Amino acid sequence: MMINKNSPLPIYYQIEEHIKDLIDRKQLKPGDCLPSEREFAEQYQVSRMTIRQAITNLVNSGYVYRIKGKGTFVADQNVIELKLHGITSFTENIQALGMTPSSKIIEFRSSLADKSVATKLKINENESVYEIQRIRLANQIPMALETSFLSMNIVKNLSKETAAHSLYEYIQKALGLSLKYSTQTIEASAANKIESELLGIKKGSPILLMERITFLSDDQPIEFTKSIYRGDRYKFVVKIDQDS
- Residue 111 CB, shortest distance to ligand GLP, in Å, is 17
> Does 91 interact with ligand GLP (rule: CB under 6 A)?
yes
Residue nearest to ligand GLP (CB): 89
Q: For residues 13 and 236, which CB has a smaller minimum distance to ligand GLP in the complex?
A: 236
> Does 102 interact with ligand GLP (rule: CB under 6 A)?
no
- Residue 117 CB, shortest distance to ligand GLP, in Å, is 14
Q: CA 234 → CA 11, 14, 118, 144, 156, distances in Å?
A: 32, 29, 30, 10, 32
> Does 76 interact with ligand GLP (rule: CB under 6 A)?
no
d(CA 130, CA 225): 11
- Residue 90 CB, shortest distance to ligand GLP, in Å, is 4
- Residue 53 CB, shortest distance to ligand GLP, in Å, is 32
Asked if residue 130 lies in contact with residue 223, where contact means CB atoms within 8 angstroms, the answer is no
Q: For residues 37 and 233, which CB has a smaller minimum distance to ligand GLP in the complex?
A: 233
> Does 148 interact with ligand GLP (rule: CB under 6 A)?
yes
d(CA 244, CA 234): 25
Q: What share of the chain is helix, strand, coil (3-state, %, to 5)?
A: 30, 35, 35
Q: For residues 63 and 130, which CB has a smaller minimum distance to ligand GLP in the complex?
A: 130
d(CA 225, CA 132): 9
Please give the residues from 213 up to 242 whose contact with ligand GLP meets the rule CB under 6 A: 223, 225, 227
User: What is the DSSP pairing of strand 141-151 with strand 128-138?
Assistant: antiparallel
How many residues touch ligand GLP (CB under 6 A)?
14
> Does 57 interact with ligand GLP (rule: CB under 6 A)?
no
d(CA 49, CA 12): 9
Give phi and psi for 195, each to the nearest 5.
-60, -40
Q: Contact residues for ligand GLP (CB under 6 A)?
A: 89-91, 146, 148, 166-169, 210, 212, 223, 225, 227
